[in-house]
Structure 1
Amino acid sequence: MPLTRDPFPFPKTENDYSLTGARQCQKEPFDKPTHIAQNDEPWSRLNDRATLASIRRNVRYHDRQAPKDSLDFHLKSTYDHHQEFLSSKNQTLYQRETFTDDHGRTLKNRGKHEAPLCETKKEVKVWMNSQKSSIYSIEGTIESHHNASTNRGYSRKHDGGFYST
């Protein structure tokens, strides 16, 4: 075989060395550099204000109310052995922050929202048929290609034809 034969098929794929030219960019470049654009809204608002999760990940963060060990965790639980005897292990470890709002800690960045007042419920009209109709009657049913008159509802195709066996 001659050594001049190219083993790769046509067309050749482009790579970093054989790129044919500059392509049109689909996205317009930014008009400001990144370090200046971060001072504008909404980036400055998002960048300057820390979330509770990011504050808690900080090295210097210390929560005085957090339990120091397993004994403190058990003592802070809402379980009362005299009133709730032989509860499951999960129930004995429930903390006050889970059930009440009077624990004095901020758990989320959100404020408390009051539930909207419900409108007065309108009474639902109940209509009773004075004459009991047969459960096998197809009168008054919703028209469809699946109803009781079509062999358990599955014998007709969507175009109206029948399946054959």
Structure 2
Amino acid sequence: MIQYQNKIARNESYEPDLRNEGTYICPMPRPPPPPMDGETWFAHLPPHERLFYHQTMSSVRYSKRFRGNINIPKDSLDFQLQARYDHGRETFPDKIDAVLQRDTCCATTSWMAPHGQKEVGANARLNLFRVLRNTRVVREKMPEVLGHPLRIGGCKEKISPHSVKLICSGVHNQLVNNGFSRQTSDGNFFRY
């Protein structure tokens, strides 16, 4: 059985893949197709058109064509409200603690929590829906563990219906030239 794994690759497209964060109300402008096959989408465009068609993650999120999830912070107040910092646990916080988000921090336990308890909302890292980098998910075929994959396919050659190799096999069948053989009793030729 062929198994696939998901691999994260750099997004070379003109538009970031933000389907997990929200929905597109209408499509973004698409660049004209390249004149030759194998070219990138921007190779034939002048610089001002390349800037017009290339969308960043921020430009898509703030665009009127995209409706984002309500949990995504929209301004600095939202960033501070969804921050990892908890005023009741830390006495002298750094300035950066007020803006660190749980999505970008890989630690699930906090040094400021008493007795190494889990942070409030520490499981938010597992249910991540925000796209942090301009990447896309690519399905890739997994390598075979045994080193010899099972190949399922049909016949590799077309065998003639008159071939002796297609007859029902038994102890009395003989494979001879062109299907002719002599009878053992009287030596006459016969064809299967």
TM-score interval (norm. to shorter): 0.3 to 0.5
**Greater strand share, structure number:** 2
Structure number with larger C-alpha Rg: 1
After TM superposition, the score normalised by the length of structure 2 is 0.30
After TM superposition, the score normalised by the length of structure 1 is 0.34
Higher relative contact order (CA 8 A, sep 6+): 2
